[in-house]
Chains A and B, each alone.
Chain A
Amino acid sequence: MKVNRYQLFTIIPVAALLILGLVGCQKEEAAQPAGLAPKVMADAIHAVLEADRTVYTKQVITRLVKKEKVIKASEQFEDDKALPLPAQMFRFGSELVAEKDSGFSYSLQSLWPINKQNEPKTDAEKKGLQYIADNPGQNFYTEEELGGTTYYTAVYPDVAVASPCVDCHNDHKDTPKTDFKIGDVMGGVVIRIAM
């Protein structure tokens, strides 16, 4: 098929418009990634973390250590042949997740940390932990850029659900706060999802 000069003048602009249109569509699609919205995913992850943490604290630590008094819970649980503390169980889980490169990470932090490595560090963590302390029962959501990657960052209140939580924190040598009560926000669970 032969294409004359006039037809060429028509085809080129139409093709250019089509290509631009396609690129535009692709851009629009990229702005709305498929799958769960990060907030829904973060909330779901937190629901599981919070449930497991509460079960371990109440059904294992409170029952065996406080009520039945059959075993101790200790930060040095290997040397003391004791149960790991709830915060340690939480951290061990987060470390295993970190090894799997699952696209998200989580940690337990506090404005009053026993281990100074767990105090808020990024601006989002600082704002988020302050927000959940000032607004009991509410979560904090934001986006932040770390090392060239954008993260959806969610901060959830970590509440003292049983007496071992407050006893251990109030009595610890390194605690900066000694008057926690059951029901207090002691810290926050920070979940990060890479965007």
Chain B
Amino acid sequence: MPIGDFAFLIPLLPALAFVITFFLGKKMYAGGALVPIGAITLSFVISLLITLNLLQNPDQIVAQSVDWFGAFNLGILIDPLAAVMLTMVSFVSLLIHIYSVGYMEHDKSKPRYFAETALFTCSMLGLILSDNILQMFVFWELVGLSSYLLIGFWYGKPSAASAAKKAFLTTRIGDVMFLAGIIILFSDLFAIFNGFPDNAYMLQFTEMFNHIPEIAGMSAQIFGFEVSHLTLITLLFFGGAVGKSGQFPLHVWLPDAMEGPTTVSALIHAATMVTAGVYLVARTFPMFISAPDTLIVIAYLGGFTALFAATMAIVMNDLKRVLAYSTISQLGYMMLGLGMGAVIGMEAVGLSIFHLINHAFFKALLFLCAGSVIHAVGTHDMRELGGVGKLMPITAITMLIAGLSLAGFGIPGTIIGTSGFLSKDAIIEAAFLFGEQSHNWLPYIFAIVGAFLTSAYIFRLLFMTFTGKPRTDYEGHESPSSMTVPMVILAAFSLFFGMFTTGMFSRFLGDTFNFINMNLNELATSLGNYELLHEAGHEPLIILWLPLILAVAGLLITYLIYHRRVLDFSVSRNNPVYKLIYNRYYQNEILTEGFAIKVVYEGLSLALYHIDRGINWIVNAIGSALTEAGHMFRHVQTGVVQNYATAIIAGVSLLAILVKIIMEVI
């Protein structure tokens, strides 16, 4: 039996684990942790076997589907893109689950924790292997729901409850756009098929991609501009991705999401929720590549987010917040990589997903290390830390490896380097080519400056946390092995994964869209007017080396400032630039207080409130009238059987008259 036949178990097992742990976890060992661990192990094994099989037989894509209702189906599609995502998600999630056994040891609500993380994993795996956009949306929403539950895991804390609400509401803006995109797509396909198709499933990726040229041909007038439906749909899809993947300006929920347990942060920021947006764009990339305007938006917004978030990461004093902004910044790089489809065509998917996978390893590791520090020391304010390296050598070394990978250390022009180096540099190089070709230099400048800041903030974090002397009194010890073992495994991946897979990865992902039998690069050239480059590597030497030079510069400067304290960088707290960045560009003031509270709540909402009160009165009046009517009719129901019989006879007579009248009228 081919391994693909077991694909349905990949999301199903964690789903079962969710049910079992939720209801029976209390009575089990470690709050039922072993159930999701076992389930996800199996999911991982199946995913891995499918991936290995695909590596050997690139044509053995798993594609199964059954009728759902109407012209929609439930289905599984595992091509190389989905396969690597499945393997990575199940693997990282598995390690985080194992780590959680130690980390959550003292928490009373362990069953709820493990049940919710299992649900989260199930939703993410389901999202990845969906073969149609509708099913994907269902899982997309499930991911949102379970992240809401997990961020608000300690719902007793008001800050956690409000962070969960913020995450939910902010991503909801993206979700609505995504849904709007699906609706437009649906109506377009409905028009193209001339109704419901007989022998095809609507909204299946195959059908969507096969009709790209027709959709591109439809256009709508928006504010006087002629906009192609394809551009509209892809922009709306991208809007969904902006919300889920924390791109500017919908990134505000992500730093607050740190209110959950650190393991949840690792799960959300590394393996699951935030990558869903990037995956959505990658999954529907044939549509994006045929919509040039959208692709430019993605490139600019991705690059901008990469830089913007990095500037904020450099002034944060909270371990987890630095990492949160770092995640936003790295997601920006992934989006930027996808936006490079304009020069490198479909290879952009491989480029971006490669960084996504590497990021999953080193970012999960960073969070787990941070969790390990917090678990031992009890604080996550870096100003109170220092010298933790001596107490926790394994944590210090693994976190250093993750930091090197994030900062991008390696030897340009070769395949020797940390995972993060190999994938991030490829994106930056692509951005350079993009600039050269289209003279849009901004994305490249964003990316390269971001690279410098990335190195600076991560080494600032490492120096402040692990070196020097403790700044407050605390005692710590190395974490238990259930926590360190996953860390060491992830460290190995952060260091070596890139080196072993770099060439293979893009070749493998190159086969991703083979299932639709179209030459997508050709489609891109015809609809997108791109001139695709088929050879890379002709960049000047300085361009190749620049990211590394900047990374080293970042390391040196932070070394001098935070370790040797040679440079005094104590900027005045009143320095306007510092204040601007430290206050996170006043986003909170502008977006939350200014826009949300002043404009939406006080302005719009109060105005509507008065209208609504009128409507409300009517609704209430209807409600009470109905209830009154209910009470009144109740008296008709006397309980006296004679009355009932009378009602029947009267009913018969009236009915006879009624039918007679109808007959006369007709």
Are A and B co-members of a single complex?
Answer: no
Name A residues whose Cβ lies closer than 8 Å to a Cβ of B: none
Name B residues whose Cβ lies closer than 8 Å to a Cβ of A: none
